[in-house]
Amino acid sequence: MTSPEISVADSLVLIRGELDALADRVLAESGAGAAPNPLEAVTDLVASADRVFVVGAGRSGLALRMTAMRLMHLGLDVHVVGEVTTPAIAAGDVLLTASGSGTTDAIVRAAETAADAGARIAVITTAAASPLASLATAVVVVPAAEKRDRSGAASAQYAGSLFEQIIVLLGDALFHTLWTRSGVSADELWPRHANLE
């Protein structure tokens, strides 16, 4: 049995629809009830941090590296965990993490180390009851499929694609909010862009 033909344009429409629906759900759920908005809580954590460390595995990690770059453009002291120049995390710092399952061993261990050092932890995950979420100062729960969910119920996309895409969008929203708050112009940010490319 062959699969039905689908064009790139049809796939883009599907992905856009899933992203729109997921973004609407994240916004609706983050603003619900009397609890503080987790998106605002993450923004406030990053804004008040002495330094920001980011850690994620696989595609989630790549998405967080994009966020790290933008935060560096803003002038924040940012480090990607695992790079040889990454210093020790300490009190006053924030660890920004993402793990769909919230159980990825290396990410949970990094969060435990950060917590032991007195750092605060911001988590993006699909699993509110996960070990990673339990360590968080602020947690954003994304109602997307995690990578082992092959049911197609949360997303027609493969594995954790929708979760990874929303990490990119949340990272850009975080940057944009901080940038807007700062009042700094785009021309003032530009000199921080890489010039050794």
The domains of the chain are located at 8-189
Under a CB-based contact definition with an 8 Å cutoff, are residues 64 and 169 in contact?
no
Nearest to 137 by CA among 64, 55, 36, 51: 36
CA distance 172 to 156: 24
In the numeric block, which tokens belong to residue 190?
A: 């530009």
In this prediction, residues 107-130 reach a mean pLDDT of 96
More confident residue, 184 or 17: 184
pLDDT for the residue numbered 17: 81
Under a CB-based contact definition with an 8 Å cutoff, are residues 89 and 122 in contact?
no
More confident residue, 2 or 103: 103
pTM over 0.75: yes
pLDDT of residue 5 exceeding 60, the answer is yes
Catalytic option among 5, 29, 40, 164:
164
pLDDT of residue 116 exceeding 70, the answer is yes
Q: What's the CATH code, domain 8-189?
A: 3.40.50.10490
H-state helical runs in the chain: 8-30, 38-48, 58-73, 105-116, 131-134, 161-182, 186-189
Residues 164-196 as b/e (b if ≥16 CB within 10 A, e otherwise) read bbbbbebbebbbebbbeeeeeeeeebeeeeeee
Per residue in 26-60, pLDDT tens? 766 655 554 567 888 999 999 999 999 999 999 99
pLDDT of residue 87 exceeding 90, the answer is yes
More confident residue, 1 or 98: 98
The residue to which tokens 């599907």 are assigned: 14
Average pLDDT of every residue of the chain:
87
More confident residue, 146 or 50: 50
User: Lowest-confidence range among 5-14, 37-46, 120-129, 156-165?
Assistant: 156-165
pLDDT for the residue numbered 148: 64
User: Lowest-confidence range among 25-39, 64-78, 92-106, 167-181?
Assistant: 25-39
Judge whether 18 counts as a catalytic residue. no
pLDDT for the residue numbered 15: 77
Nearest to 144 by CA among 59, 44, 66, 40: 59
pLDDT for the residue numbered 92: 97
